[in-house]
């Protein structure tokens, strides 16, 4: 019996914990009737209800891609099969972030072995890249060079990563996995209101390139809501991948067209860059938080390291007693975030090029040292914070999706083009948008990137190096089995968004719907600003300002896709900040 639902509509306003939660209604949504098992989880007290399914579930930012993944599960595929299918589908239906021309990370729990695996298919700097390639003749960062030119493109890893995962842990053939995406690209799909707005916002960048205009423009203007987006060249590329696998991307027809695109416009990617690309299987970063095991991505992602680091500091505070989004809870969130982001700027980079003190940063004793600096009331100004010394303890646009199957396998994937539509450049004849991931390097130490993040020498540009990322696909385990599968896009805010999802679930007992809908806060050390979403109590904001925080109410942060595993089934939710997202199961 199918018990699936998806939310539509927008979040009008939310206040959590001691505040009143006000949510917009779910249209065409259904929830299961209360049962003995659900009462155990305070179903009757839940203000906002997640989607329920018994056997398998997919949570993604675009409903068409979610349906592709659920169909794979229904056909007997496992969570990896479904995750790879969703990855290819999002490249078609979520062109601003889903991709073949970008890269990312996958966190996997393999139920058969009980192992947790971190898969790194992050982009790589071309061999001809150099440390000062984005500086002008005066030594200043040249505006836009690392974002909207062919020099911004890193060697893509998504195609290699998806194929690697399927071969290692999947059960289906690549051609069968890609078939739904070919159909979506060939037949087209209606442009949603959300996608139409993004196309309009990015029209100047997208409109520079004939190959991009041919796909996303009509009569000189970006496609509008309701127009049909047909991607014939992308369908052709997908057919080639279905027939020949990743070899056609890295050593064949598709790769040749990418290299030709680079050559025509002064880009750096060569045939050798593509041929030499390798996926890395890494040991996850892990930590314990209030009896749960948190497993996430290691460097070159900073996400897992700093989520564990912050949780280590937070564990000493009775957050459940303070309440969700109380001034006291937000104070401790902000102070621990600042300390972690200062360390990020100093130590994090590609472990193939720099020694990253992950064990030190995630050590409980190092958290003790950092937390000793936190006053229960006083605000520690950013100017007083320098990167700590973890060594002694050594022993936007992006998208995320989550998948769980009936066998206990769980997959969390976060992958990206970097900004919306990446560089905006489509490799002519491929239909494939190319990333602008090179901006994630430190173009110049101490100068912020597009997300305002400060970087140092550890993340300086070097040939063959992977840029530092905040992407944080994360698994939370209970008794050795997946309990929560989550992650988010959001640039610099990915780490703090994912962190708050975990804290909301563990400390405040929120279900995935409530956790997603609760207003978020963010502090990244520099700029010295406490960023918050609307919906917090005016009283809380007044207390925070009196404490000395520079509070700034800004646009929403993150778009989580979360699945929780309970004894009676799966509960999931797609962040209401994106009305196109959907969680479905069977």
Instruction: Just list the catalytic residues.
Output: 398
What are the tokens at 58?
Answer: 């997919």
Cα R_g (the chain), whole angstroms: 22
What are the tokens at 510?
Answer: 């929120």
> What CA–CA distance (Å, rounded) separates 416 from 157?
10
Q: Which of 384, 335, 378 is closest to 530 using CA atoms?
A: 335
What are the tokens at 90?
Answer: 């999002």
What are the tokens at 13?
Answer: 């306003």
Cα 350 from chain centre: 18
Distances in Å between the Cα of 368 and the Cα atoms of 361, 377, 468 are: 11, 18, 26
> What CA–CA distance (Å, rounded) separates 206 from 211?
9
Are residues 294 and 286 in contact, defined by beta-carbon separation less than 8 angstroms? yes
> What CA–CA distance (Å, rounded) separates 467 from 460?
8
- The residue behind tokens 């988010």 is 488
> What CA–CA distance (Å, rounded) separates 370 from 357?
15
What distance separates the 2 farthest-apart alpha carbons in the chain?
70
Number of other CB atoms surrounding residue 140 within 10 Å = 12
* 3-state class (DSSP) for residue 305: helix
> What CA–CA distance (Å, rounded) separates 110 from 107?
10
What are the tokens at 54?
Answer: 């018994």
Q: Are strands 217-218 and 397-404 parallel, antiparallel or unpaired?
A: unpaired
């Amino acid at each position: 019996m199918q018990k699936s639902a998806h939310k539509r509509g927008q979040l009008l306003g939310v206040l959590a914990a001691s505040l009143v939660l006000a949510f917009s209604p779910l249209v065409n949504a259904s929830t299961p009737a209360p049962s003995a098992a659900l009462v155990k989880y305070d179903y009757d007290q839940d203000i906002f209800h997640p989607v329920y399914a018994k056997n398998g579930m997919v949570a993604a930012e675009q409903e068409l891609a979610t349906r592709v993944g659920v169909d794979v599960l229904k056909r007997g595929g496992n969570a990896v099969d479904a995750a790879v299918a969703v990855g290819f589908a999002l490249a078609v239906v979520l062109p601003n972030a889903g991709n073949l021309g970008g890269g990312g990370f996958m966190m996997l729990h393999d139920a058969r072995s009980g192992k947790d695996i971190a898969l790194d298919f992050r982009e790589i700097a071309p061999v001809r890249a150099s440390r000062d390639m984005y500086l002008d003749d005066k030594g200043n960062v040249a505006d836009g060079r690392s974002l909207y030119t062919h020099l911004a493109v890193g060697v893509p890893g998504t195609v290699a990563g998806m194929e690697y995962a399927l071969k290692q842990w999947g059960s289906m053939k690549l051609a069968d996995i890609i078939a739904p995406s070919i159909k979506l690209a060939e037949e087209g799909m209606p442009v949603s209101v959300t996608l139409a707005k993004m196309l309009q916002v990015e029209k100047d960048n997208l409109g520079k390139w004939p190959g991009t205009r041919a796909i996303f423009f009509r009569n000189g203007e970006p496609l509008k809501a309701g127009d049909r987006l047909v991607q014939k060249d992308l369908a052709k590329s997908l057919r080639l991948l279905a027939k020949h696998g990743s070899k056609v991307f890295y050593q064949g027809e598709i790769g040749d067209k990418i290299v030709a695109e680079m050559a025509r416009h002064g880009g750096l990617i060569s045939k050798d860059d593509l041929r030499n690309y390798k996926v890395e299987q890494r040991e996850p970063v892990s930590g314990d938080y209030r009896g749960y095991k948190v497993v996430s991505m290691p460097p070159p992602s900073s996400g897992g390291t700093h989520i564990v680091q912050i949780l280590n500091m937070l564990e000493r505070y009775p957050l459940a007693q303070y309440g969700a989004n109380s001034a006291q809870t937000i104070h401790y969130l902000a102070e621990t975030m600042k300390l972690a982001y200062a360390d990020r700027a100093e130590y994090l980079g590609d472990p193939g090029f720099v020694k990253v003190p992950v064990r030190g940063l995630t050590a409980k004793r190092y958290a003790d040292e950092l937390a000793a600096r936190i006053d229960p009331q006083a605000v520690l100004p950013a100017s007083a914070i320098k990167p700590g010394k973890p060594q002694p303890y050594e022993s936007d646009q992006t998208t995320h999706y989550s998948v769980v199957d009936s066998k206990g396998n769980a997959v969390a994937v976060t992958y990206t083009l970097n900004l919306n539509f990446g560089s905006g450049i489509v490799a002519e004849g491929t239909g494939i948008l190319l990333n602008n991931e090179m901006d994630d390097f430190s173009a110049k130490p101490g100068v912020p990137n597009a997300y305002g993040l400060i970087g140092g020498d550890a993340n300086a540009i070097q040939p063959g190096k992977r840029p530092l990322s905040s992407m944080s696909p994360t698994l939370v385990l209970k008794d050795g089995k997946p309990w929560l599968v989550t992650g988010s896009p959001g640039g610099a805010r990915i780490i703090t968004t994912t962190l708050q999802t975990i804290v909301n679930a563990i400390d405040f007992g929120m279900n995935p719907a409530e956790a997603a809908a609760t207003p978020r806060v963010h502090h990244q050390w520099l700029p010295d600003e406490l960023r918050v979403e609307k919906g917090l109590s005016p009283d809380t904001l007044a207390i925070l300002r009196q404490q000395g925080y520079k509070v700034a109410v800004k646009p929403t942060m993150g778009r989580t896709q979360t699945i929780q595993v309970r004894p009676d089934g799966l509960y999931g939710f797609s962040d209401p900040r994106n009305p196109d997202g959907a969680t479905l199961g069977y």
